[in-house]
Amino acid sequence: MARGVTKLYGHRIGCQDVTFDLHAGEVLAVVGESGSGKSTLLSVLSTRAEPSAGRIEYRMRDGVARDLFRLNEAERRLLLRTDWGFVHQDPREGLRMGISAGGNVGERLMAVGERHYGRIRETAIDWLGRVEIDESRIDDTPRAYSGGMRQRLQIARNLVTAPRLVFMDEPTGGLDVSVQARLLDLLRGLVADLGLAAIVVTHDLAVARLLSHRIMVMRHGRVIETGLTDQVLDDPREPYTQLLVASVLT
């Protein structure tokens, strides 16, 4: 639950008065042009930046909703390692580039208490298979992977602990169109199979349509339109949203 979330940088607005609810198993897309405030909002929601105003509550596994910014640093770090995942646009930000693919996946498992080497490696092999990476590449470092493979490895690293909420920042940005399509199919299948809640920031309306149930359109730091994804994209009410949709179609 987010209420009145605002982030100011001096007199510049990062995002202002953003309010929404996100339910288990629901995917929310946040769209808009560069500078619209969508990435700032994602940083605040994922506790990477402190809000200037507003409140963000998260329902813990015990069913109690807690204010994220009243958690201590250790509690926030635990959430990021266990209950949450974060898929960066540049997979180098979300991977340990100097250790093996199996080690990248295994680190997340160790963070939740797994210590048995055999089980860790077996789970890593299973997850590499789920993201279409051959198990023969398990001991290669991400430096030896293509951009698309790195992104798939980052997804495996994030999802191996069965998080309840995943943040995605332009997850297909910078990839070739054919690689994007394959990755989107993979993401859509995993999100549906695992019943994840997710917040996806993207400037690509095709990504929003394929992955999300609901959409928020941002401009100049504010949410100007929100609703069911197909409804908003097929019949946008706001002139700015109409322009965004038209720019894709032309």
Chain segment 92-106, per-residue pLDDT in tens: 999 999 999 999 999
Q: Name, in order, each residue with C-beta under 8 angstroms of 180's C-beta and a sequence gap of 6 or more.
A: 172, 207
Q: Which structure tokens are listed for 81?
A: 């390692």
The structural domains of the chain, ordered by start, are 21-50+72-83+163-250 (3.40.50.300), 91-162 (no CATH)
What is the rounded distance in angstroms from the CA atom of residue 33 to the CA atom of residue 245? 12
Label residue 156 by pLDDT band (50, 70, 90).
very high
Token reading at 80: 């990021």
Which of 15-19, 113-117, 175-179 has the lowest average pLDDT? 175-179
Q: Which residues contact 247 (CB under 8 A, 6 or more apart)?
A: none
Residues 163-216 pLDDT 10s: 999 999 998 887 888 788 888 888 888 888 888 899 999 989 999 999 999 999
* 65 pLDDT more than 60: yes
DSSP assignment of 99-163:
S-HHHHHHHHHHHTT---HHHHHHHHHHHHHHTT--GGGTTS-GGGS-HHHHHHHHHHHHHTT--
Query: Which residue type does 102 have?
Result: G
- Characterise 17 by phi-psi region: left (phi > 0), alpha (psi -120 to 50), beta (else): left
